[in-house]
Amino acid sequence: MPYFDVIKKDSSSLARNGVIHTSHGDVNTPAFLPIGTKGTVKAVTSEELKFWGAEMILANTYHLWQRPGDALIYKAGGLHKFMNWKGPIFTDSGGFQVFSLAKMRKVMEAGVLFQFDLDGRQEILSPEKSVQIQANLGSDVALILDDFPGYPFEHERSVESIALTKRWAERAQKEFLNIMRHGDPINPGQKLWGIVQGASFPDLRKQSAKDMTGLGFEAFAIGGVAVGEPHEEMMKAVEAAIPFLPENSPKHLLGVGTPFNIVQAVARGCDTFDCVIPTREARHGRLYISAKNIPTPTTPSRFANHPSLTGGEAPHLSEITAESFPLARGSAAEGGEGVVEGYKTIDIRLEKYKEDFTTIDETCDCYLCLNHTKSYLRHLFAAGEPLSTRLASMHNLRFYLNLMKKIRTAIQYDYFDEMAANYRDYTGAAQSGVER
Ligand SMILES: [Zn+2]
C-alpha cells in the first residue's frame, strides 16, 4: 500500500483530498492537527479530541524531552500509551522551540547548543538526538532537525540554512535507519519526513525541495513559515516549494495558521496543518465562529442541513442529486439565496455579551454551543472559572476540525473555489502562532 493516496484533485487549484496511512490509522487530508504540546491538548481529553473529529495530533519533542523526558515515555510504552491517544501522532524535531523558547542557543555543525527554559540545563540538540528522542516517543511521523533563519528573511542567511538543513537531513536519515533496523523502536512503522527551508526565496525553496527529494524522503514539511511574515510571503514560500516535491507525497505546512491561511495553503497543495491558534486564542476568550448567513431564507433548510455546513458525515456520491446537494455557487449567483460562508472571531469577554443569551455559533455542534449562551461563557471568563477555557478550547477545536471537513467535502464535490473565496482574513488580531 502506498504511504499516501490522492483520492480527489480539485479542478480549480492544487487542492486535493488524500489519505495518509500510518501504523495507528488513516488520516484524511486536508487535516488539522491539534497541538498536544506537553502530551496533552490543553484542557481537552483524548476521547473528546477523537469525538470532535481529530485524526492526528502533534506533540512537541522539545517539551517532552525537557519534561517528563523521552526515557520515561519509552518506559511507559511510548507516547500513545502514555497519554492514551490511540490515533496517529506527529512530532516535530524540537528545533522550533529551541529557537523560540530556549534561554541561549548556538547553531553549530554538530547541532544546536542551548539551555532549557525550565531549569537552565545545557544540551546539544543534534540531528541524531532529535531522531532518537522521537523514536523513544514512538510517534507515527517524525521530523528531521532543520535550521531556519527566522524573520525578516535574508537571502545569504537562508543559503546557509538550506545547506545545513541538507547536511543535517542526511545525518538524521542515517540515524533513523539505524534505529529502525538495529534498535528497539517503540513504533517500527514510524516515518521520517524531510523539511523544506529557504524563506520566501523561490530559488532556495526550489533547491531545498530538490535536496529533500534527492535524499529519498516520502513526505515533507514546509518549514520556516508562520514566524511573523505577511500572508503573501508565506504563500510565496509554499508556491515556490510545492512544484518541486513529488505530487503523490503528503505535505505539511508547519505552524499554520488562521482559517484563511489554511484555505489558501490547501489551494496551493498543502495537506496537513498544525497551529496553537484554536487553543491559545480560546484561553484568551477569542472564539472562531461561522460567518455563514442566508440572505433571503426562502429555501434555507436545504443549505442549513447540508453535511458540509453542519459537520455531519458527507453522503455517498451515489446519494447526491441536484436537489440534495445545491451548490452555493449557482444559488448565490441566481437569486441571492446562496450560503455565504467564511468565519469571524469574537471576544467573548466584551461587555456587549453580558446579557446576550444567544448561542455562540448556531452552526456548531460542540458541547458549548449545544448547552450554553454567550452570557454564561462571558460570566465564566469574568469569574476566572477553569471551565471557561475548557469550553472555549473545545469549541475552537471543533470549529477547526469542522473547517477541514468542509474543505474535504468542497474538494470532493467540486466547489472548493467558491468556498475559498469566502474565507478571507476576517480575524485581524489573530496571527499564525509562533509558539507552536
Ligand atoms: Zn461550538
Q: What is the average pLDDT across 376-391?
A: 97
CA–centroid distance, 377 to ligand 1, in Å, is: 12
CA–centroid distance, 178 to ligand 1, in Å, is: 46
Please determine, for residue 108, whether its predicted confidence score (pLDDT) is greater than 80: yes
| % of the chain exceeding 90 in pLDDT | 78
C-alpha cell at 53: 473529529
Q: pLDDT tens digits for 43-52? A: 999 999 999 9
Q: What is the average pLDDT across 66-94?
A: 97
Split at pLDDT 50, 70, 90, the class of 292 is low
Q: What pLDDT shows up at residue 336?
A: 35
Q: What is the average pLDDT across 338-361?
A: 88
Find which of 306-310, 320-324, 382-386 is predicted with most confidence, using mean pLDDT: 382-386
CA–centroid distance, 81 to ligand 1, in Å, is: 29
Split at pLDDT 50, 70, 90, the class of 426 is low
Q: Which candidate in 10, 211, 274, 361 is catalytic?
A: 274
CA–centroid distance, 331 to ligand 1, in Å, is: 27
Q: What pLDDT shows up at residue 348?
A: 97
Please determine, for residue 338, whether its predicted confidence score (pLDDT) is greater than 90: no
Split at pLDDT 50, 70, 90, the class of 149 is confident
Q: pLDDT tens digits for 5-58? A: 999 999 999 999 999 999 999 999 999 999 998 999 999 999 999 999 999 999
Please determine, for residue 329, whether its predicted confidence score (pLDDT) is greater than 80: no
Class of domain 4-275: alpha beta
Helix, strand, or coil (residue 166): helix
CA–centroid distance, 396 to ligand 1, in Å, is: 7
Domain boundaries, the chain: 4-275, 283-422
CA–centroid distance, 423 to ligand 1, in Å, is: 19
CA–centroid distance, 206 to ligand 1, in Å, is: 41
CA–centroid distance, 371 to ligand 1, in Å, is: 9
CA–centroid distance, 296 to ligand 1, in Å, is: 25
Q: What pLDDT shows up at residue 376?
A: 98
Among the listed residues 67, 432, 68, 90, the one whose alpha carbon sits nearest the alpha carbon of residue 276: 432
C-alpha cell at 355: 446579557
**8 Å CB contact between 374 and 348:** yes
Phi, psi of 109 (to 5 degrees): -60, -40
**Helix ranges (DSSP H) in 215-323:** 231-241, 259-267, 277-283, 300-304, 307-310
Q: CA angle at residue 328 from 310 to 362, to 5 degrees?
A: 30
C-alpha cell at 220: 515533507
* Cα(25)–Cα(77) distance, integer angstroms: 18
Max Cα distance, the chain (Å): 66
* Cα(315)–Cα(300) distance, integer angstroms: 19
**8 Å CB contact between 10 and 414:** yes
Residue count (the chain): 436
CA–centroid distance, 59 to ligand 1, in Å, is: 24
* Cα(151)–Cα(228) distance, integer angstroms: 6
365 in active site: no
Measured on CA atoms in the order 308, 314, 365, 50, is the torsion positive or negative?
Answer: negative
356 in active site: no
Q: Which candidate in 70, 92, 211, 361 is catalytic?
A: 92
Please determine, for residue 328, whether its predicted confidence score (pLDDT) is greater than 60: no
* Cα(18)–Cα(137) distance, integer angstroms: 26
CA–centroid distance, 23 to ligand 1, in Å, is: 31
Helix, strand, or coil (residue 307): helix
**Ligand 1 ion: residues within 5 Å (CB):** 364, 366, 368-369, 395
**8 Å CB contact between 303 and 326:** yes
* DSSP labels, 200-216: T-HHHHHHHHHHHHHTT
Q: What is the average pLDDT across 278-306?
A: 67
Q: Does a cis peptide bond (omega within 30 degrees of 0) precede residue 315?
A: no
* Buried b / exposed e along 188-198 (16+ C-beta atoms within 10 A): eebbbbbbbbb
Q: pLDDT tens digits for 121-148? A: 999 999 999 999 999 999 999 999 999 8
CA–centroid distance, 390 to ligand 1, in Å, is: 12
Please determine, for residue 191, whether its predicted confidence score (pLDDT) is greater than 80: yes
Please determine, for residue 109, whether its predicted confidence score (pLDDT) is greater than 60: yes
Pairing of strands 286-290, 272-274: unpaired
Q: What is the average pLDDT across 78-93?
A: 97
